[in-house]
A and B are shown apart, each in its own frame.
Chain A
Amino acid sequence: MKKIIAVTICSLLLTHCALTQSYLPKATLKTLEGQEISSHQLIDSSQYVVISFWATWCKPCMQELDALAEDYENWKKTTHSSIIAIAIDDSRTLNGVKGILNGRDWPFTTYLDVNQDFKRSLNINTVPYTIIINKKGDIVKRHSGYTPGSENELKKFLKKQAIR
């Protein structure tokens, strides 16, 4: 057993050194109307996409999306990127998603990850969690957690990419 763990950890480190960039995994998401879409439909060949994982019961997630929503018009212009919100609520709190979207007036497209297949395929443990994908679908940035102001770090990163 110890050998398996040791081998896996080494291979993990090696692969990580060789490859810090991974591709957006394929998973099935649902629209608010219940239609299935592939996570690959989130890839936008004209711009970078910020994908933010949240849940109705997660306070820092709300803070992050509120902060992004307040600045969204400016964000789109300066970073040349769009934002998509993925609710990981299961059937316990799923019905509250639409209400929150209404009450909060967020301008983002939201999809549902009902049994958390998309979240799992990205090895995400906790929300909030944000990834940025480039025009090809490569994951170019991952960000775990939220502290007020940390959205500016994402903004800086996107601006740098836009200059390149």
Chain B
Amino acid sequence: MLKKIILPLSLLFLQQYAAAQNKNPWYALHHFSGGIESNNQYYFENKKSGILLPEKRFASNTYLNLNYQYQHLEAGIQLEGYNPVLQGYPTGYDGNQLVHGFIRYKSKYAEITAGTFYDQFGAGIVFRAYEERQLGIDNAILGGHLKLIPVKAIRFKAFAGRQRNFMDLSPARLIAGADAEFDIIAIEKDNNQTHLNIGGSYVYKKQEVTVPLPNFPDHITALAARINFSRNNYSASAEYVNKSIEPDFQNKYIYKKGAAFLLNQSYSSSKGWGINISLRRLENMDFKSNYVSTESVTSLNYLPALTKQHSYLVSNIYPHNTQWLQEIGGQLDINYHFAKNSPIGGAYGAKFILNAALYNALDTTRLSGNQGFSSKALSFGKEKYFRDINLSFEKRWTAKVKGSFSYQHLFYNKAALQGGPYGSVDANILIADFLFKIKEEQSLRTEIQHLFTKDDEKNWYALLAEYSFSNGLSFYASNLSNYQSKKINYFNVGSAYNHNSLRLSLGYAKQRGGLVCVGGVCRFVPTYLGFTGTLAYNF
């Protein structure tokens, strides 16, 4: 399929290249860009910490992109190499392959794509194709995509194709969708900025029936409606999704419709404070192009955990995990900016951030037969999944010292969120994070973190120090320790260098999985013991 696209695409380039040479210098209209990212690891064994040696000591994930632009035309390819795939990533990624290729025509009124593409309808609850390399997710669609903007207030999108499933295509024979959005009100005056738009989406999945169950659906449809409103400092958005009966491996083949509801409201004061509230309800919303799979790589929709996304080591030990089968809850964010020269703000100002989240199971009644359960619309079930409250105060204390203090309280239902015979976890976390300017071009960042709990694996602490030079070079060392229960130290030492668009890093770590922000960037890392070397360059 890809080869069929690449050949005409190359011919088109040559033709356009030749044509352009006659009129303009070729480089004036033809734009090439690209990038390479290579993450490599060499592993060691550590039986004491339960880290076993994988089949091969060396593993490597490499991605190469090349893009081309000529006036209204764009084209690109992506090559991926897994030799073999890094520890912690899905093993379905294997070998070297040309995984993406596309050609696109873009004008003010239309956008037509043939090949692989990504897109999202609404908030992504009904459809989202995206790439998140650090998580090993790439659920691009291979097919055709059309976007029309006949007038500024109307946007229409439609697509049809098949979804990527690691190095191949997913079993569902056809994924198709359409989305329309209309601006009803768009006022942009100085004292009155009001916007109202409505939208609707439709997603269709044609699948082969391979399980011996009666009346197994050979196609699934999902419908969504949404509304967005904003007036000056206030904004609100809501989306509702309804999905036809979809039995799959993950929901244990129950014959049940799916539904989702999302409501967001926010208010931002011009005096430096803002508040945001999100509420979400999910019921049987697993939606995959491969219904026998447990891998999120074939997800057609996006149901992220709506909680604070932490960058601290101990805060990432118990992260919420969305329960797409049934979940109800929400989160609240409050930001406050203390002005310069105020009693709390001091000479430089200060920031206060509060985030709280609460998620429960639905209020359900088990049904006989294969229908699973019924549930009450806006009632919270008795089973608690997750709760947390985060408070953070950040301030520049002197010209050379900037720092923050954070407190987090969390409740984590490990049995429900990770699956297994676990108890729940009640924990408190304290964090101090400071940045010291040593000289004009050198700085030191330190983090002291502690998680207090009597549950699960008991207390944890973490220490981090990072010494950076303004030329892009940095050295870091951190240690995350489970010092009461498992008595394991997860250490990480290394160096990173950024120069223009080049990024190099080398580290040695016994790494717990999670989001780690060192060396100037944030990325998710899997569990391993060994060396990691990264090279990234783009132009």
* A interface residue numbers (CB < 8 A to B): 1-2, 4-5, 8-9, 11-12, 15-16, 18-20, 22-23, 25-26, 33-36, 55-60, 63, 70, 90-93, 95-96, 98-105, 114-117, 120-128, 141-150, 152-153
Chain A neighbourhood of B473, CB < 8 A: 147
Closest to B440 in A: A149
Chain A neighbourhood of B349, CB < 8 A: 105
Is B14 at the interface (CB under 8 A from chain A)? no
Is B276 at the interface (CB under 8 A from chain A)? yes
The 26 sampled A-B contact pairs (Cβ below 8 Å) are: A2-B96, A5-B64, A5-B96, A9-B64, A16-B32, A23-B69, A55-B522, A57-B309, A58-B311, A90-B130, A92-B304, A95-B333, A98-B276, A103-B351, A103-B352, A105-B349, A120-B118, A123-B67, A126-B536, A145-B496, A146-B498, A148-B443, A149-B470, A152-B441, A152-B470, A153-B471
Chain B neighbourhood of A58, CB < 8 A: 311, 517, 521-522
Q: Which B42-82 residues have a C-beta within 8 angstroms of A? A: 63-67, 69, 74, 77, 79, 81
| Residue from A58, A123, A128 having most chain B Cβ neighbours under 10 A | A123
Q: Is the CB of B35 within 8 A of A123?
A: yes
Q: Is the CB of B501 within 8 A of A144?
A: yes
B103 to chain A minimum Cβ distance, whole angstroms, is 14
Is B124 at the interface (CB under 8 A from chain A)? yes
Of the residues B31, B64, B120, B309, contact of A92 by C-beta under 8 Å: B309
Complex alpha-carbon distance, A153 and B334, angstroms: 34
Is B453 at the interface (CB under 8 A from chain A)? no
Complex alpha-carbon distance, A58 and B523, angstroms: 9
Complex alpha-carbon distance, A63 and B351, angstroms: 13
Closest to B32 in A: A15
Q: Is the CB of B197 within 8 A of A145?
A: no
Complex alpha-carbon distance, A103 and B345, angstroms: 12
Of the residues A2, A23, A60, A149, contact of B517 by C-beta under 8 Å: A60
Q: Is the CB of B186 within 8 A of A35?
A: yes
Q: Is the CB of A102 within 8 A of B337?
A: yes
Closest to B231 in A: A33
Chain A neighbourhood of B204, CB < 8 A: none
Is B142 at the interface (CB under 8 A from chain A)? no
Chain A neighbourhood of B249, CB < 8 A: none
Q: Is the CB of A150 within 8 A of B472?
A: yes
Flag the segment in B86-94, B267-275, B420-428 that touches A: B267-275
Complex alpha-carbon distance, A9 and B177, angstroms: 36
Complex alpha-carbon distance, A100 and B334, angstroms: 9
Chain A neighbourhood of B536, CB < 8 A: 125-126, 144
Chain A neighbourhood of B150, CB < 8 A: none
Complex alpha-carbon distance, A125 and B310, angstroms: 20
Chain A neighbourhood of B37, CB < 8 A: 125
Chain B neighbourhood of A12, CB < 8 A: 34, 36, 64, 66
Closest to B30 in A: A19
Complex alpha-carbon distance, A149 and B473, angstroms: 11
Q: Is the CB of B128 within 8 A of A115?
A: yes
Q: Which B148-198 residues have a C-beta within 8 angstroms of A? A: 155, 183, 186, 193, 195, 197
Chain B neighbourhood of A116, CB < 8 A: 118, 130-131
Complex alpha-carbon distance, A8 and B496, angstroms: 27
B514 to chain A minimum Cβ distance, whole angstroms, is 12
Complex alpha-carbon distance, A96 and B268, angstroms: 11
A60 to chain B minimum Cβ distance, whole angstroms, is 5
Complex alpha-carbon distance, A12 and B96, angstroms: 18
Q: Is the CB of B31 within 8 A of A95?
A: no
Q: Is the CB of B539 within 8 A of A102?
A: no
Of the residues A33, A34, A123, contact of B33 by C-beta under 8 Å: A123
Chain B neighbourhood of A23, CB < 8 A: 31, 69
Closest to A15 in B: B32
Complex alpha-carbon distance, A126 and B522, angstroms: 7
Q: Is the CB of A33 within 8 A of B235?
A: yes
Chain B neighbourhood of A145, CB < 8 A: 472, 496, 498, 503, 519-521
Chain B neighbourhood of A120, CB < 8 A: 118, 131
Complex alpha-carbon distance, A147 and B193, angstroms: 38
Is B133 at the interface (CB under 8 A from chain A)? yes
Q: Which B262-303 residues have a C-beta within 8 angstroms of A? A: 264, 266, 268-269, 272-276, 278, 302
Q: Is the CB of B33 within 8 A of A122?
A: yes
Of the residues B69, B183, B276, contact of A25 by C-beta under 8 Å: B69
Q: Is the CB of A149 within 8 A of B335?
A: no
Closest to B467 in A: A147
Per-position 1/0 for B112-124, Cβ under 8 A of A: 0000001110011
Complex alpha-carbon distance, A142 and B469, angstroms: 18
Q: Is the CB of B337 within 8 A of A25?
A: no
| Residue from A12, A19, A22, A148 having most chain B Cβ neighbours under 10 A | A148
Of the residues A11, A16, A60, A143, contact of B500 by C-beta under 8 Å: A143
Complex alpha-carbon distance, A16 and B66, angstroms: 11
Q: Is the CB of A142 within 8 A of B266?
A: no
Closest to B28 in A: A23
Complex alpha-carbon distance, A8 and B34, angstroms: 11
Q: Is the CB of B27 within 8 A of A56?
A: no
Complex alpha-carbon distance, A148 and B348, angstroms: 17
Closest to B304 in A: A92
Q: Is the CB of B470 within 8 A of A150?
A: yes
Given A8-B66, A33-B195: A125 and B35 interface contact (C-beta under 8 Å): yes
Complex alpha-carbon distance, A57 and B309, angstroms: 6
A153 to chain B minimum Cβ distance, whole angstroms, is 7
